[in-house]
Structure 1
Amino acid sequence: MWADAGRRPPTTGGHVQEHDDYPAPGRVERRPVDADESARAGRSWWDGAADAYQADHGGFLGDADFVWCPEGLTEAEAGLLGGLDDLRGRRVLEIGGGAGQCGRWLRAQGVGEVVSFDLSFRQLQHSRRIDEQLGLRLPVVQADAQRLPFADAAFDTVFSSFGAFPFVPSADDALAEATRVLRPGGRLVFSVTHPVRWSFPDDPTEHGFTVRQSYFDRRAYVEEDDHGNAVYVEHHHTVGDWVRGIAGAGLVLGDLVEPEWPPGNDRVWGGWGPVRGRMIPGTAIFSADKP
Protein backbone atom coordinates (compact mmCIF):
# COMPACT_ATOMS: atom_id res chain seq x y z
CA MET A 1 0.00 0.00 0.00
CA TRP A 2 1.19 3.50 -0.17
CA ALA A 3 4.00 3.34 -2.22
CA ASP A 4 4.97 0.45 -1.09
CA ALA A 5 4.32 -2.61 -1.94
CA GLY A 6 2.32 -2.48 0.81
CA ARG A 7 2.58 1.11 1.34
CA ARG A 8 5.26 3.41 0.45
CA PRO A 9 5.34 6.86 1.98
CA PRO A 10 3.12 9.14 0.00
CA THR A 11 5.18 12.13 -1.08
CA THR A 12 5.17 14.97 -3.54
CA GLY A 13 8.54 15.38 -5.08
CA GLY A 14 10.65 14.55 -2.09
CA HIS A 15 10.16 12.09 0.73
CA VAL A 16 10.18 13.10 4.37
CA GLN A 17 11.96 10.65 6.63
CA GLU A 18 10.70 10.22 10.17
CA HIS A 19 12.94 7.29 11.12
CA ASP A 20 16.74 7.18 11.29
CA ASP A 21 17.04 3.95 9.32
CA TYR A 22 15.73 5.10 5.95
CA PRO A 23 18.23 5.04 3.07
CA ALA A 24 20.35 8.18 2.98
CA PRO A 25 18.93 10.83 0.63
CA GLY A 26 20.83 11.36 -2.61
CA ARG A 27 21.52 14.38 -4.76
CA VAL A 28 18.21 15.76 -6.05
CA GLU A 29 17.58 16.16 -9.76
CA ARG A 30 14.52 16.69 -11.96
CA ARG A 31 14.90 14.66 -15.15
CA PRO A 32 13.20 12.02 -17.30
CA VAL A 33 13.53 8.44 -16.02
CA ASP A 34 12.52 5.35 -17.97
CA ALA A 35 10.68 2.26 -16.76
CA ASP A 36 13.76 0.13 -16.05
CA GLU A 37 15.61 2.81 -14.08
CA SER A 38 12.47 3.57 -12.08
CA ALA A 39 11.98 -0.09 -11.22
CA ARG A 40 15.62 -0.60 -10.15
CA ALA A 41 15.55 2.48 -7.93
CA GLY A 42 12.17 1.61 -6.44
CA ARG A 43 13.12 -1.98 -5.63
CA SER A 44 16.39 -0.97 -4.00
CA TRP A 45 14.96 1.97 -2.05
CA TRP A 46 11.97 0.10 -0.70
CA ASP A 47 14.05 -2.90 0.29
CA GLY A 48 16.20 -0.53 2.32
CA ALA A 49 13.28 1.49 3.69
CA ALA A 50 10.75 -1.23 4.51
CA ASP A 51 11.79 -1.81 8.13
CA ALA A 52 11.71 1.88 9.00
CA TYR A 53 8.52 2.44 7.03
CA GLN A 54 6.64 -0.29 8.85
CA ALA A 55 8.00 0.90 12.20
CA ASP A 56 6.84 4.46 11.51
CA HIS A 57 3.49 3.79 9.85
CA GLY A 58 2.45 0.23 10.64
CA GLY A 59 0.33 1.36 13.57
CA PHE A 60 -1.63 3.83 11.44
CA LEU A 61 -2.06 1.36 8.58
CA GLY A 62 -2.99 -1.55 10.82
CA ASP A 63 -2.02 -5.16 10.20
CA ALA A 64 -5.34 -5.98 8.57
CA ASP A 65 -6.97 -2.66 7.77
CA PHE A 66 -7.71 -0.86 4.53
CA VAL A 67 -6.69 2.79 4.63
CA TRP A 68 -6.79 4.67 1.34
CA CYS A 69 -4.72 7.71 2.29
CA PRO A 70 -3.06 9.80 5.04
CA GLU A 71 -6.41 11.52 5.57
CA GLY A 72 -7.49 8.19 7.08
CA LEU A 73 -10.35 7.31 4.72
CA THR A 74 -10.98 3.57 4.96
CA GLU A 75 -12.62 1.15 2.57
CA ALA A 76 -15.06 0.22 5.35
CA GLU A 77 -16.28 3.84 5.29
CA ALA A 78 -16.07 4.57 1.57
CA GLY A 79 -17.01 1.26 -0.09
CA LEU A 80 -15.17 2.24 -3.26
CA LEU A 81 -14.62 -1.36 -4.33
CA GLY A 82 -18.31 -2.17 -3.96
CA GLY A 83 -20.32 -4.08 -1.39
CA LEU A 84 -18.60 -6.82 0.59
CA ASP A 85 -21.29 -9.32 -0.34
CA ASP A 86 -20.34 -8.89 -4.00
CA LEU A 87 -16.60 -8.81 -3.33
CA ARG A 88 -16.71 -12.13 -1.51
CA GLY A 89 -17.38 -13.84 -4.80
CA ARG A 90 -14.71 -12.02 -6.80
CA ARG A 91 -11.01 -12.38 -7.54
CA VAL A 92 -9.15 -9.29 -6.29
CA LEU A 93 -5.66 -7.97 -7.07
CA GLU A 94 -3.80 -5.45 -4.92
CA ILE A 95 -1.15 -3.45 -6.80
CA GLY A 96 1.87 -2.34 -4.77
CA GLY A 97 0.53 -3.77 -1.53
CA GLY A 98 3.66 -3.41 0.59
CA ALA A 99 2.99 -5.46 3.70
CA GLY A 100 -0.48 -6.35 2.38
CA GLN A 101 -2.57 -4.57 4.98
CA CYS A 102 -5.40 -3.77 2.55
CA GLY A 103 -5.53 -7.20 0.97
CA ARG A 104 -5.41 -8.81 4.39
CA TRP A 105 -8.40 -6.73 5.51
CA LEU A 106 -10.35 -8.04 2.54
CA ARG A 107 -9.38 -11.60 3.46
CA ALA A 108 -10.57 -10.95 7.02
CA GLN A 109 -13.93 -9.80 5.62
CA GLY A 110 -14.39 -13.13 3.86
CA VAL A 111 -13.07 -12.27 0.39
CA GLY A 112 -11.49 -15.61 -0.42
CA GLU A 113 -9.48 -14.84 -3.57
CA VAL A 114 -7.13 -11.91 -2.97
CA VAL A 115 -3.59 -11.60 -4.33
CA SER A 116 -1.18 -8.79 -3.44
CA PHE A 117 2.11 -7.93 -5.10
CA ASP A 118 4.94 -5.55 -4.50
CA LEU A 119 8.24 -4.65 -6.09
CA SER A 120 10.09 -4.88 -2.77
CA PHE A 121 11.02 -8.30 -1.41
CA ARG A 122 11.56 -6.85 2.06
CA GLN A 123 8.02 -5.49 2.12
CA LEU A 124 6.76 -8.96 1.23
CA GLN A 125 8.75 -10.36 4.14
CA HIS A 126 6.86 -7.98 6.41
CA SER A 127 3.65 -9.28 4.87
CA ARG A 128 4.64 -12.84 5.78
CA ARG A 129 5.56 -11.69 9.31
CA ILE A 130 2.09 -10.22 9.81
CA ASP A 131 0.49 -13.34 8.34
CA GLU A 132 2.24 -15.47 10.94
CA GLN A 133 1.28 -13.12 13.77
CA LEU A 134 -2.39 -13.02 12.81
CA GLY A 135 -2.77 -16.52 11.41
CA LEU A 136 -4.32 -15.01 8.27
CA ARG A 137 -2.47 -15.78 5.04
CA LEU A 138 -2.42 -13.35 2.12
CA PRO A 139 -0.90 -14.76 -1.11
CA VAL A 140 1.80 -12.39 -2.39
CA VAL A 141 4.01 -12.08 -5.47
CA GLN A 142 7.10 -9.98 -6.16
CA ALA A 143 6.35 -8.08 -9.35
CA ASP A 144 6.53 -4.78 -11.22
CA ALA A 145 3.28 -2.92 -11.90
CA GLN A 146 4.64 -2.02 -15.34
CA ARG A 147 4.81 -5.73 -16.32
CA LEU A 148 2.14 -7.71 -14.49
CA PRO A 149 2.76 -11.48 -14.33
CA PHE A 150 -0.93 -12.32 -14.62
CA ALA A 151 -3.14 -13.54 -17.44
CA ASP A 152 -5.57 -11.32 -19.31
CA ALA A 153 -8.93 -10.86 -17.53
CA ALA A 154 -7.72 -12.75 -14.45
CA PHE A 155 -9.36 -10.49 -11.83
CA ASP A 156 -12.76 -8.97 -11.14
CA THR A 157 -11.41 -6.09 -9.04
CA VAL A 158 -8.01 -4.37 -9.10
CA PHE A 159 -6.99 -1.71 -6.60
CA SER A 160 -3.97 0.20 -5.34
CA SER A 161 -3.68 2.30 -2.21
CA PHE A 162 -0.71 4.55 -2.97
CA GLY A 163 0.94 1.47 -4.43
CA ALA A 164 3.17 1.67 -7.49
CA PHE A 165 1.27 4.26 -9.55
CA PRO A 166 3.18 7.28 -8.13
CA PHE A 167 6.42 5.52 -9.11
CA VAL A 168 5.84 4.68 -12.78
CA PRO A 169 6.92 6.97 -15.63
CA SER A 170 3.92 6.26 -17.87
CA ALA A 171 0.41 6.56 -16.48
CA ASP A 172 -0.87 5.18 -19.80
CA ASP A 173 1.23 2.01 -19.61
CA ALA A 174 0.47 1.29 -15.95
CA LEU A 175 -3.26 1.76 -16.46
CA ALA A 176 -3.21 -0.37 -19.61
CA GLU A 177 -1.58 -3.22 -17.66
CA ALA A 178 -4.06 -2.94 -14.81
CA THR A 179 -6.91 -2.97 -17.33
CA ARG A 180 -5.46 -5.95 -19.20
CA VAL A 181 -5.78 -8.21 -16.14
CA LEU A 182 -9.28 -6.90 -15.34
CA ARG A 183 -12.36 -8.76 -16.53
CA PRO A 184 -15.17 -6.98 -18.39
CA GLY A 185 -17.52 -5.56 -15.78
CA GLY A 186 -14.63 -5.22 -13.32
CA ARG A 187 -13.49 -2.17 -11.39
CA LEU A 188 -10.13 -0.43 -10.92
CA VAL A 189 -9.67 1.91 -7.95
CA PHE A 190 -6.38 3.58 -7.05
CA SER A 191 -5.17 6.37 -4.80
CA VAL A 192 -2.22 8.66 -5.53
CA THR A 193 -0.77 11.91 -4.32
CA HIS A 194 -3.15 14.60 -5.52
CA PRO A 195 -1.43 16.05 -8.60
CA VAL A 196 -1.87 19.63 -7.38
CA ARG A 197 0.43 18.80 -4.46
CA TRP A 198 3.41 18.72 -6.83
CA SER A 199 3.29 22.49 -7.07
CA PHE A 200 3.87 22.82 -3.32
CA PRO A 201 6.79 21.84 -1.08
CA ASP A 202 6.59 18.81 1.21
CA ASP A 203 5.79 21.02 4.18
CA PRO A 204 2.56 20.38 6.15
CA THR A 205 2.64 23.79 7.88
CA GLU A 206 1.44 27.18 6.69
CA HIS A 207 4.79 27.57 4.88
CA GLY A 208 3.71 24.75 2.56
CA PHE A 209 1.08 26.90 0.84
CA THR A 210 3.56 28.64 -1.47
CA VAL A 211 3.69 27.34 -5.04
CA ARG A 212 7.30 26.40 -5.82
CA GLN A 213 7.17 24.64 -9.18
CA SER A 214 5.01 24.30 -12.25
CA TYR A 215 2.11 21.87 -12.07
CA PHE A 216 2.87 21.05 -15.71
CA ASP A 217 6.52 20.08 -15.12
CA ARG A 218 6.40 16.31 -15.58
CA ARG A 219 10.08 15.62 -15.06
CA ALA A 220 10.58 13.00 -12.37
CA TYR A 221 11.84 13.80 -8.89
CA VAL A 222 15.09 11.84 -8.70
CA GLU A 223 17.68 11.24 -5.99
CA GLU A 224 21.03 10.09 -7.35
CA ASP A 225 24.13 8.50 -5.87
CA ASP A 226 27.64 9.84 -6.52
CA HIS A 227 27.75 8.03 -9.87
CA GLY A 228 24.51 9.53 -11.17
CA ASN A 229 22.45 6.39 -10.64
CA ALA A 230 18.87 6.92 -9.49
CA VAL A 231 18.33 5.67 -5.94
CA TYR A 232 14.80 7.09 -5.47
CA VAL A 233 12.35 8.12 -8.19
CA GLU A 234 8.86 9.54 -8.05
CA HIS A 235 6.80 10.61 -11.06
CA HIS A 236 4.23 13.36 -11.50
CA HIS A 237 1.11 12.97 -13.63
CA THR A 238 -1.53 15.67 -13.85
CA VAL A 239 -5.23 15.04 -13.29
CA GLY A 240 -5.65 15.19 -17.05
CA ASP A 241 -2.91 12.60 -17.54
CA TRP A 242 -4.72 10.16 -15.25
CA VAL A 243 -8.11 10.81 -16.85
CA ARG A 244 -6.73 10.36 -20.38
CA GLY A 245 -4.90 7.22 -19.26
CA ILE A 246 -8.11 5.78 -17.85
CA ALA A 247 -10.04 6.58 -21.03
CA GLY A 248 -7.21 5.34 -23.25
CA ALA A 249 -7.19 2.02 -21.41
CA GLY A 250 -10.85 1.55 -22.27
CA LEU A 251 -12.20 2.26 -18.79
CA VAL A 252 -15.09 4.51 -17.81
CA LEU A 253 -14.30 6.95 -15.01
CA GLY A 254 -16.96 6.66 -12.34
CA ASP A 255 -15.64 8.89 -9.57
CA LEU A 256 -12.74 11.03 -8.42
CA VAL A 257 -12.66 11.19 -4.64
CA GLU A 258 -10.68 13.97 -2.93
CA PRO A 259 -10.81 13.09 0.79
CA GLU A 260 -11.19 16.05 3.13
CA TRP A 261 -9.06 16.22 6.24
CA PRO A 262 -11.23 14.85 9.06
CA PRO A 263 -11.64 16.48 12.47
CA GLY A 264 -9.57 14.74 15.11
CA ASN A 265 -6.81 13.53 12.77
CA ASP A 266 -3.71 15.35 13.98
CA ARG A 267 -1.21 13.00 12.37
CA VAL A 268 1.50 14.52 10.17
CA TRP A 269 2.74 12.26 7.38
CA GLY A 270 5.37 13.91 5.22
CA GLY A 271 3.61 16.80 3.50
CA TRP A 272 0.20 15.70 4.80
CA GLY A 273 -1.17 17.23 7.97
CA PRO A 274 -4.20 19.02 9.43
CA VAL A 275 -3.03 22.58 8.67
CA ARG A 276 -2.72 22.22 4.94
CA GLY A 277 -5.05 19.24 4.66
CA ARG A 278 -8.05 21.35 5.62
CA MET A 279 -7.33 23.80 2.80
CA ILE A 280 -6.13 21.84 -0.24
CA PRO A 281 -6.49 18.19 -1.31
CA GLY A 282 -3.64 15.82 -0.61
CA THR A 283 -4.99 12.63 -2.17
CA ALA A 284 -6.87 11.72 -5.34
CA ILE A 285 -8.73 8.39 -5.57
CA PHE A 286 -9.81 7.37 -9.08
CA SER A 287 -12.55 4.78 -9.60
CA ALA A 288 -13.18 3.37 -13.07
CA ASP A 289 -15.09 0.42 -14.55
CA LYS A 290 -14.31 -1.82 -17.52
CA PRO A 291 -17.30 -2.17 -19.86
Structure 2
Amino acid sequence: MSDLHQSNRRLWDEWSDDFQAIWRSDTDEGELPPAPSPFAADAPGGPQPGILESVEGKAYVELGCGGGQGSVGTAELGADPVVGVDFSGEQLRYARQLRDEYGVDAQFVQGDVTDLPLPDDRFDVASSEAAFQMVEDVDRAFAEAHRVLRDGGVFVFSVLHPLHEALDEESGTLEHSYVDEGPREIEIDEAFEETLMVFDRTVADLHNGLVDAGFEVRRLLEHHNHEVEHNEPAESDLPDVLWKVPQSVRFWAVAQ
Protein backbone atom coordinates (compact mmCIF):
# COMPACT_ATOMS: atom_id res chain seq x y z
CA MET A 1 0.00 0.00 0.00
CA SER A 2 1.48 3.35 -1.06
CA ASP A 3 2.21 6.18 1.38
CA LEU A 4 -0.49 8.26 -0.32
CA HIS A 5 -3.05 5.50 0.12
CA GLN A 6 -2.20 5.09 3.80
CA SER A 7 -2.46 8.86 4.28
CA ASN A 8 -5.97 8.87 2.77
CA ARG A 9 -6.99 6.01 5.02
CA ARG A 10 -5.74 7.82 8.12
CA LEU A 11 -7.59 10.96 7.01
CA TRP A 12 -10.88 9.07 6.72
CA ASP A 13 -10.40 7.42 10.10
CA GLU A 14 -9.84 10.90 11.57
CA TRP A 15 -12.63 12.62 9.61
CA SER A 16 -15.29 9.94 9.93
CA ASP A 17 -17.06 11.26 13.06
CA ASP A 18 -17.47 14.76 11.60
CA PHE A 19 -18.39 13.51 8.12
CA GLN A 20 -21.09 11.16 9.36
CA ALA A 21 -22.45 13.82 11.72
CA ILE A 22 -22.96 16.11 8.72
CA TRP A 23 -24.58 13.25 6.77
CA ARG A 24 -27.05 12.69 9.60
CA SER A 25 -27.60 16.37 10.45
CA ASP A 26 -30.96 16.69 8.66
CA THR A 27 -32.36 13.53 10.22
CA ASP A 28 -35.21 14.26 12.63
CA GLU A 29 -35.39 12.40 15.93
CA GLY A 30 -36.92 8.97 15.42
CA GLU A 31 -36.18 8.95 11.69
CA LEU A 32 -33.57 6.89 9.88
CA PRO A 33 -30.61 8.69 8.29
CA PRO A 34 -30.43 8.68 4.48
CA ALA A 35 -29.26 5.49 2.78
CA PRO A 36 -29.53 6.18 -0.97
CA SER A 37 -28.97 3.34 -3.41
CA PRO A 38 -27.54 3.93 -6.91
CA PHE A 39 -30.33 1.65 -8.15
CA ALA A 40 -33.24 3.56 -6.62
CA ALA A 41 -35.81 5.34 -8.77
CA ASP A 42 -34.51 8.74 -7.65
CA ALA A 43 -30.80 7.96 -8.05
CA PRO A 44 -28.81 10.38 -10.25
CA GLY A 45 -29.65 9.59 -13.85
CA GLY A 46 -32.35 7.18 -12.75
CA PRO A 47 -32.42 3.39 -13.10
CA GLN A 48 -31.50 1.70 -16.35
CA PRO A 49 -33.92 -1.25 -16.73
CA GLY A 50 -32.46 -2.16 -20.11
CA ILE A 51 -29.19 -2.96 -18.35
CA LEU A 52 -30.43 -4.11 -14.94
CA GLU A 53 -34.12 -4.61 -14.35
CA SER A 54 -33.84 -5.06 -10.58
CA VAL A 55 -31.32 -5.76 -7.83
CA GLU A 56 -33.77 -7.99 -5.98
CA GLY A 57 -32.11 -11.31 -5.19
CA LYS A 58 -28.82 -10.19 -6.74
CA ALA A 59 -25.45 -10.59 -5.02
CA TYR A 60 -24.15 -7.05 -4.58
CA VAL A 61 -20.89 -5.41 -3.49
CA GLU A 62 -20.19 -1.73 -2.82
CA LEU A 63 -16.56 -0.76 -3.46
CA GLY A 64 -15.37 2.06 -1.21
CA CYS A 65 -18.58 1.88 0.81
CA GLY A 66 -17.66 4.49 3.44
CA GLY A 67 -20.52 4.69 5.94
CA GLY A 68 -22.42 1.95 4.11
CA GLN A 69 -25.24 4.09 2.76
CA GLY A 70 -25.23 2.53 -0.71
CA SER A 71 -24.96 -0.98 0.70
CA VAL A 72 -27.83 -0.49 3.15
CA GLY A 73 -30.00 1.26 0.57
CA THR A 74 -29.44 -1.54 -1.93
CA ALA A 75 -30.20 -4.18 0.71
CA GLU A 76 -33.47 -2.32 1.26
CA LEU A 77 -34.24 -2.88 -2.44
CA GLY A 78 -33.86 -6.64 -1.99
CA ALA A 79 -30.25 -7.37 -2.99
CA ASP A 80 -28.91 -10.48 -1.26
CA PRO A 81 -26.22 -11.05 -0.18
CA VAL A 82 -24.84 -7.52 0.29
CA VAL A 83 -21.17 -6.75 1.01
CA GLY A 84 -19.47 -3.38 1.52
CA VAL A 85 -15.70 -2.92 1.33
CA ASP A 86 -13.77 0.11 2.59
CA PHE A 87 -10.24 0.85 3.78
CA SER A 88 -11.34 2.92 6.80
CA GLY A 89 -12.18 1.01 9.93
CA GLU A 90 -13.94 4.06 11.38
CA GLN A 91 -16.17 4.42 8.33
CA LEU A 92 -17.03 0.73 8.59
CA ARG A 93 -18.03 1.22 12.21
CA TYR A 94 -20.68 3.66 11.01
CA ALA A 95 -21.67 1.30 8.21
CA ARG A 96 -22.43 -1.47 10.70
CA GLN A 97 -24.38 0.97 12.86
CA LEU A 98 -26.47 2.07 9.87
CA ARG A 99 -27.11 -1.57 8.92
CA ASP A 100 -28.41 -2.28 12.41
CA GLU A 101 -30.56 0.86 12.40
CA TYR A 102 -32.25 -0.26 9.19
CA GLY A 103 -32.42 -3.90 10.25
CA VAL A 104 -31.05 -5.23 6.96
CA ASP A 105 -28.58 -8.01 6.26
CA ALA A 106 -25.21 -6.71 5.05
CA GLN A 107 -21.60 -7.62 5.68
CA PHE A 108 -18.84 -5.00 5.88
CA VAL A 109 -15.22 -5.88 5.24
CA GLN A 110 -12.09 -3.79 5.61
CA GLY A 111 -10.01 -3.93 2.45
CA ASP A 112 -8.43 -2.12 -0.48
CA VAL A 113 -10.37 -1.72 -3.75
CA THR A 114 -7.14 -2.50 -5.63
CA ASP A 115 -6.79 -5.83 -3.80
CA LEU A 116 -10.26 -6.94 -2.76
CA PRO A 117 -10.50 -9.64 -0.06
CA LEU A 118 -13.22 -11.34 -2.11
CA PRO A 119 -13.38 -14.42 -4.37
CA ASP A 120 -13.59 -14.39 -8.16
CA ASP A 121 -16.98 -14.33 -9.92
CA ARG A 122 -18.89 -13.78 -6.68
CA PHE A 123 -21.28 -10.92 -7.46
CA ASP A 124 -23.99 -10.00 -9.96
CA VAL A 125 -23.85 -6.26 -9.28
CA ALA A 126 -21.23 -3.81 -8.00
CA SER A 127 -21.15 -0.07 -7.49
CA SER A 128 -18.78 2.66 -6.35
CA GLU A 129 -19.78 6.21 -5.49
CA ALA A 130 -17.25 9.07 -5.16
CA ALA A 131 -14.47 6.74 -4.03
CA PHE A 132 -12.21 5.87 -6.96
CA GLN A 133 -10.93 9.45 -7.33
CA MET A 134 -8.93 8.69 -4.17
CA VAL A 135 -7.34 5.59 -5.75
CA GLU A 136 -3.85 6.01 -7.19
CA ASP A 137 -3.94 2.86 -9.37
CA VAL A 138 -7.45 3.12 -10.81
CA ASP A 139 -6.74 0.56 -13.56
CA ARG A 140 -6.05 -2.06 -10.90
CA ALA A 141 -9.26 -1.08 -9.09
CA PHE A 142 -11.26 -1.52 -12.32
CA ALA A 143 -9.59 -4.92 -12.84
CA GLU A 144 -10.56 -5.99 -9.32
CA ALA A 145 -14.17 -4.88 -9.87
CA HIS A 146 -14.23 -7.01 -13.01
CA ARG A 147 -12.66 -9.98 -11.24
CA VAL A 148 -15.30 -10.22 -8.50
CA LEU A 149 -18.21 -9.86 -10.95
CA ARG A 150 -19.70 -12.77 -12.85
CA ASP A 151 -19.92 -12.63 -16.65
CA GLY A 152 -22.69 -10.17 -17.47
CA GLY A 153 -22.41 -8.54 -14.05
CA VAL A 154 -23.27 -4.85 -13.84
CA PHE A 155 -20.93 -2.18 -12.46
CA VAL A 156 -22.31 1.30 -11.69
CA PHE A 157 -19.36 3.62 -11.19
CA SER A 158 -19.61 7.30 -10.27
CA VAL A 159 -17.13 10.03 -9.37
CA LEU A 160 -17.20 13.80 -9.10
CA HIS A 161 -16.96 15.23 -12.61
CA PRO A 162 -13.34 16.22 -13.37
CA LEU A 163 -14.48 19.46 -15.03
CA HIS A 164 -16.46 20.38 -11.92
CA GLU A 165 -13.37 19.69 -9.81
CA ALA A 166 -11.15 21.86 -12.04
CA LEU A 167 -13.33 24.97 -11.65
CA ASP A 168 -13.00 27.75 -9.13
CA GLU A 169 -16.59 28.33 -8.04
CA GLU A 170 -16.16 31.99 -7.15
CA SER A 171 -14.37 33.20 -10.30
CA GLY A 172 -15.93 30.68 -12.69
CA THR A 173 -12.50 29.94 -14.17
CA LEU A 174 -10.34 26.84 -14.33
CA GLU A 175 -8.36 26.47 -11.12
CA HIS A 176 -6.24 23.68 -12.55
CA SER A 177 -5.95 21.76 -15.81
CA TYR A 178 -8.74 19.37 -16.78
CA VAL A 179 -6.16 17.02 -18.30
CA ASP A 180 -3.83 16.98 -15.25
CA GLU A 181 -4.90 13.94 -13.26
CA GLY A 182 -2.99 14.91 -10.14
CA PRO A 183 -2.51 13.98 -7.41
CA ARG A 184 -4.28 17.02 -5.98
CA GLU A 185 -4.23 17.87 -2.29
CA ILE A 186 -7.40 18.89 -0.44
CA GLU A 187 -7.25 20.20 3.11
CA ILE A 188 -10.41 19.02 4.88
CA ASP A 189 -9.71 20.71 8.20
CA GLU A 190 -6.55 22.38 9.42
CA ALA A 191 -6.98 20.51 12.71
CA PHE A 192 -6.45 17.16 10.94
CA GLU A 193 -2.97 15.74 10.60
CA GLU A 194 -3.64 14.40 7.09
CA THR A 195 -4.88 15.95 3.85
CA LEU A 196 -6.94 14.20 1.19
CA MET A 197 -5.15 13.27 -2.02
CA VAL A 198 -7.29 12.82 -5.14
CA PHE A 199 -6.86 12.16 -8.86
CA ASP A 200 -8.93 14.01 -11.48
CA ARG A 201 -9.04 11.65 -14.46
CA THR A 202 -10.74 12.85 -17.63
CA VAL A 203 -14.04 11.26 -18.62
CA ALA A 204 -12.25 9.64 -21.57
CA ASP A 205 -9.60 8.11 -19.28
CA LEU A 206 -12.28 6.67 -16.99
CA HIS A 207 -14.26 5.26 -19.92
CA ASN A 208 -11.19 3.73 -21.53
CA GLY A 209 -10.01 2.31 -18.20
CA LEU A 210 -13.30 0.46 -17.82
CA VAL A 211 -13.07 -0.87 -21.37
CA ASP A 212 -9.47 -1.98 -20.90
CA ALA A 213 -10.51 -3.86 -17.74
CA GLY A 214 -13.04 -5.89 -19.73
CA PHE A 215 -16.24 -3.87 -19.32
CA GLU A 216 -18.67 -2.79 -21.99
CA VAL A 217 -19.88 0.72 -21.11
CA ARG A 218 -23.63 0.82 -21.83
CA ARG A 219 -24.47 4.28 -20.46
CA LEU A 220 -22.52 7.40 -19.55
CA LEU A 221 -24.50 9.99 -17.59
CA GLU A 222 -23.48 13.49 -16.49
CA HIS A 223 -25.71 15.14 -13.94
CA HIS A 224 -25.98 18.39 -12.01
CA ASN A 225 -25.86 19.20 -8.34
CA HIS A 226 -29.20 18.20 -6.77
CA GLU A 227 -30.01 21.84 -5.92
CA VAL A 228 -29.36 22.87 -9.52
CA GLU A 229 -31.68 20.19 -10.86
CA HIS A 230 -34.56 21.24 -8.61
CA ASN A 231 -34.24 25.03 -8.42
CA GLU A 232 -33.97 28.14 -10.56
CA PRO A 233 -30.82 30.31 -10.57
CA ALA A 234 -32.73 33.30 -9.23
CA GLU A 235 -33.94 31.25 -6.25
CA SER A 236 -30.51 30.01 -5.19
CA ASP A 237 -27.29 31.46 -3.88
CA LEU A 238 -25.18 28.75 -5.52
CA PRO A 239 -22.22 30.05 -7.56
CA ASP A 240 -23.25 30.77 -11.16
CA VAL A 241 -20.76 28.31 -12.64
CA LEU A 242 -22.46 25.33 -10.97
CA TRP A 243 -25.46 25.85 -13.27
CA LYS A 244 -23.21 25.37 -16.29
CA VAL A 245 -21.29 22.17 -15.53
CA PRO A 246 -22.21 18.67 -14.32
CA GLN A 247 -21.31 17.74 -10.76
CA SER A 248 -20.64 14.06 -11.35
CA VAL A 249 -20.31 11.41 -14.03
CA ARG A 250 -21.81 7.93 -13.84
CA PHE A 251 -21.01 4.84 -15.91
CA TRP A 252 -23.23 1.80 -16.32
CA ALA A 253 -20.93 -0.99 -17.47
CA VAL A 254 -21.29 -4.74 -18.01
CA ALA A 255 -18.51 -7.31 -17.38
CA GLN A 256 -17.63 -9.26 -20.51
- How high is the TM-score relative to the length of structure 1? 0.73
For residue 190 of structure 2, what is the aligned residue in structure 1? none
Q: Percent identity?
A: 28
Aligned to 1:78, the other structure's residue is in SS state coil
Could you give the per-residue CA deviations for residues 45-71 of structure 1, whole angstroms, max 9, x where no partner exists? 001111110111235797353265xxx
- Work out whether residues 100 and 138 of structure 1, in 8 Å CA contact, stay in contact via their aligned partners in 2: no
Is residue 2:180 matched to residue 1:213?
no
Structure 1 residue 105: deviation in Å?
1.3
Distance 1:50 1:286 in 2: 27
Structure 1 residue 75: deviation in Å?
3.1
User: Out of 86, 90, 97, which is 1:118 matched to?
Assistant: 86
For residue 243 of structure 1, what is the aligned residue in structure 2? 207
Structure 1 residue 231: deviation in Å?
4.0
> Per the alignment, do residues 131 and 117 of structure 1 end up closer, same or farther by CA in structure 2, a change over 3 Å counting?
same
Aligned to 2:16, the other structure's residue is in SS state helix
Is residue 2:255 matched to residue 1:290?
yes
> Per the alignment, do residues 265 and 143 of structure 1 end up closer, same or farther by CA in structure 2, a change over 3 Å counting?
farther
Structure 1 residue 250: deviation in Å?
1.2
For residue 56 of structure 1, what is the aligned residue in structure 2? 22
Could you give the per-residue CA deviations for residues 7-54 of structure 1, whole angstroms, max 9, x where no partner exists? xxxxxxxxxxxxxxxxxxxxxxxxxxxx51232012100011111101
Structure 2: gaps spanning 5 or more residues: 188-192
Is residue 2:35 matched to residue 1:46?
no
Distance 1:47 1:236 in 2: 23
Letter matched to residue 219 of structure 1: G
Is residue 2:169 matched to residue 1:199?
no
Please say which of residues 39-48 and 103-112 is displaced more in the overlay: 103-112
Q: Pairwise mapping of residues 49-128 of structure 1 onto structure 2 (< 5 A)?
A: 49-59=15-25, 63=33, 65-66=35-36, 74-75=42-43, 78-80=46-48, 82-84=52-54, 87-128=55-96
- Work out whether residues 60 and 125 of structure 2, in 8 Å CA contact, stay in contact via their aligned partners in 1: yes
Aligned to 1:127, the other structure's residue is in SS state helix
Structure 1: gaps spanning 5 or more residues: 1-34, 267-272
Structure 1 residue 249: deviation in Å?
0.6
Structure possessing the higher relative contact order (Cα contacts under 8 Å, 6 or more residues apart) = 1
Distance 2:24 2:114 in 1: 26
- Work out whether residues 42 and 119 of structure 1, in 8 Å CA contact, stay in contact via their aligned partners in 2: no
Structure 1 residue 264: deviation in Å?
3.8
Distance 2:77 2:100 in 1: 18
For residue 151 of structure 2, what is the aligned residue in structure 1? 184
- Work out whether residues 47 and 121 of structure 1, in 8 Å CA contact, stay in contact via their aligned partners in 2: yes
Structure 1 residue 222: deviation in Å?
2.9
Letter matched to residue 65 of structure 1: A
Aligned to 2:82, the other structure's residue is in SS state strand
Distance 1:117 1:60 in 2: 26
Letter matched to residue 159 of structure 1: S
For residue 6 of structure 1, what is the aligned residue in structure 2? none
Aligned to 2:24, the other structure's residue is in SS state helix
Q: Pairwise mapping of residues 158-173 of structure 1 onto structure 2 (< 5 A)?
A: 158-162=126-130, 164-173=131-140
- How high is the TM-score relative to the length of structure 2? 0.82
> Per the alignment, do residues 148 and 59 of structure 1 end up closer, same or farther by CA in structure 2, a change over 3 Å counting?
same
Letter matched to residue 130 of structure 1: L
- Work out whether residues 265 and 274 of structure 1, in 8 Å CA contact, stay in contact via their aligned partners in 2: no
Distance 1:42 1:95 in 2: 16
User: Out of 235, 244, 253, which is 1:279 matched to?
Assistant: 244
